[in-house]
Amino acid sequence: MDNTIIRKYDIRGVVGKDLQINDGYEIGRKFGQTVTKVCIGYDSRIDSSSIEKELIKGLISSGANIIRVGMCSSPMLYATTQIMKADLGIIITASHNPSEYNGFKFFSSKKVFSDQEIKKIISSPIKNNTKTGSLININIYSEYIHILKSALKNNVTQKLKIAWDCGNSPASGIIRYIEKILPGHTHIITNNSIDGEFPLHDPDPIEEKNLAQLIDIVKKDKCDLGIALDGDGDRVRLIDNKGSVVSNDHLFMIFAREVLEEYPKSKVIASIKMSMKVYNFISKLGGQVITCATGHSLVKKKMIEEEAKFAGELSGHFFFPELGFDDGLYSAVKAVDILLKKNQSLSQIIENLPKLYITHEVKIVVKDEKKFRIIELIKKTLEQQNIVFSELDGIKVTDNDNKGWWLLRVSNTQNCITARCEGNTLEDFELAKRVLFYYIDKARSLN
């Protein structure tokens, strides 16, 4: 197996190029040696079912007992792993990546799988095994629908008109039960056919070009809310009633405020790319924000270590204490519940939050084998210029007066370097942006 497809917290690559169908067999053989009971599932991508067959062969040959969920979202697989008290969950997915990608995510209630842990398991020798594993199929839909329904606490008479973009992902299989989860509301659903080619747009709601269709529906049908899910259903993006994209910095504030009402003075975890205004907002509510490197597994690990009550990152992964994993649909139901509780439009709620002077996440496409080297070269440049920076996740430079910051970091899932900057005021923002784009140009020249 090509070890370059082992990323910071999962396995991901282009099928037929650096990730092969039969890699599933090796992963099954190696991971099967470490567990007794494992839950497996796969997403809607073209090659996922073929990879699943190889994964099953490998797991059974290693003596593992398999609970097969079939096509499902990542949160459905995570929920199954918890419900069945399995040692491990493996889902075949490339999350939000384009259709030519695929990969594997690993889930356990006991530990978080880092790249070092994955490499250690993959490089382990094959042990002699005389036991053959078993396979059972399970339908988890009713249990998972019950989990989603539990996020709805406010039983009010107000009814909303909600637009959904399922991104042709396995979430489409759940949305057909949406009346059971959110009864009485009007639901307008698009891209709800399961299609691994993702014909209308890539399943990445962070890229705003992929939200154009949903925005049009919200405006045309005068919806109260638009909800976009990613390719494996663990991330969410919202559109407000005016058709504006809601920043996940703001959504983090909205969710965190609700959590802090229930758990006063608790800790929350925010990824390094979040707005600095999140910190002031949480502090005023009596909470404490702890910064974490980007990556859903890293955020989850930090949440466990710090015994935090909420965590989230810019890409739309949100973690609530009652779940133990990230779930885009659960987060969406939570957002609906807050709207019903507040009896305000989403745009009104946003207007009452701190105003942000911040860029979207900028992606600089670079050669995969060069992206880490580019960051190291820019670090050396900053050191020569006596500029202080954080190395928690790439490079983050904060103004001495805390008026702004800029960030460059390597993407764990794509062949790019991501960048973002923020200012406390519009003037501070323009200055931070000029500095950031100087270093973006430098990164491009190094590529």
For tokens 């697989």, the residue is 77
DSSP codes, 315-352: TS-EE-TTTSSB-HHHHHHHHHHHHHHHTS-HHHHHHT
pLDDT at 213 exceeding the cut of 90: yes
d(CA 36, CA 174): 29
For tokens 């059971």, the residue is 180
Residues 132 and 11 in one domain: yes
Residues 250 and 353: beta-carbon distance below 8 Å = yes
pLDDT category of residue 9 using cuts at 50, 70 and 90: confident
Structurally, the chain folds into a number of domains equal to 4
pLDDT category of residue 6 using cuts at 50, 70 and 90: very high
Residue 134 among the catalytic residues:
no
Mean pLDDT value of segment 228-251: 97
Give the per-residue pLDDT at 355: 97
Residues 309 and 223 in one domain: no
Q: Is 184 exposed, middle or buried (0-12, 13-18, 19+ CB in 10 A)?
A: exposed
Give the per-residue pLDDT at 77: 97
- As given in the structure block, the two tokens for residue 172 are 């489409």
Residues 262 and 338 in one domain: yes
Give every CB contact of residue 65 below 8 A, 6+ residues apart in sequence.
Answer: 36, 37, 38, 133, 134, 135
- Provide the β-strand partners of residue 419: 362, 408
Residues 153 and 120 in one domain: no
| DSSP label at residue 15 | B
Give the per-residue pLDDT at 44: 94
Give the per-residue pLDDT at 128: 82
Q: Between the CA of residue 314 and those of 93, 240, 293, 307, 339, what are the distances in Å?
A: 20, 17, 11, 21, 21
Structural domain boundaries enclosing 428:
357-446
Residues 433 and 439: beta-carbon distance below 8 Å = no
- As given in the structure block, the two tokens for residue 204 are 């990445």
- Provide the β-strand partners of residue 6: 11
pTM: 0.94
Residues 281 and 327 in one domain: yes
| 3-class secondary-structure state, position 401 | coil
pLDDT at 37 exceeding the cut of 90: yes
d(CA 184, CA 161): 10
Residues 55 and 39 in one domain: yes
Give the per-residue pLDDT at 369: 83
| 3-class secondary-structure state, position 206 | coil
Residues 260 and 283: beta-carbon distance below 8 Å = no
- As given in the structure block, the two tokens for residue 341 are 């509780």
CATH number at residue 418: 3.30.310.50
Give the per-residue pLDDT at 112: 83
pLDDT at 343 exceeding the cut of 90: no
Residues 294 and 415 in one domain: no
Task: Supply angle C-alpha 225, 286, 236, rounded to 5.
Answer: 25
Pick the last residue of a domain from 294, 324, 351.
351
d(CA 136, CA 66): 6
Residues 363 and 442 in one domain: yes
pLDDT tens digits for range 43-56: 999 999 999 999 99
Residues 294 and 257 in one domain: yes
pLDDT at 326 exceeding the cut of 90: yes
Pick the last residue of a domain from 190, 217, 239.
239
d(CA 226, CA 189): 10
d(CA 233, CA 43): 9
Residues 177, 138, 228, 308, CA torsion sign: positive
Strand order in the sheet with 88-92: 11-14, 101-107, 88-92, 37-42, 65-71, 135-137
pLDDT tens digits for range 431-441: 999 999 999 89
CATH number at residue 234: 3.40.120.10
Residues 191 and 200: beta-carbon distance below 8 Å = yes
Residues 230 and 117 in one domain: no
Q: Is 155 exposed, middle or buried (0-12, 13-18, 19+ CB in 10 A)?
A: exposed
Q: How many CB atoms lie within 10 A of CB 430?
A: 13
Residues 263 and 329 in one domain: yes
pLDDT at 384 exceeding the cut of 90: yes
Of the listed ranges 29-33, 266-270, 282-286, 299-303, the one predicted with least confidence: 299-303
Question: Which entry of 95, 169, 172, 247 is annotated as an active-site residue?
Answer: 95
Q: How many CB atoms lie within 10 A of CB 23?
A: 24
Pick the last residue of a domain from 239, 271, 289.
239
Residues 299 and 313: beta-carbon distance below 8 Å = yes
Closest CA to 356 of 407, 281, 293: 281
Tell me which of 412 and 242 has the higher pLDDT: 242
Residues 15 and 107 in one domain: yes
Residues 293 and 392: beta-carbon distance below 8 Å = yes
pLDDT at 131 exceeding the cut of 90: no
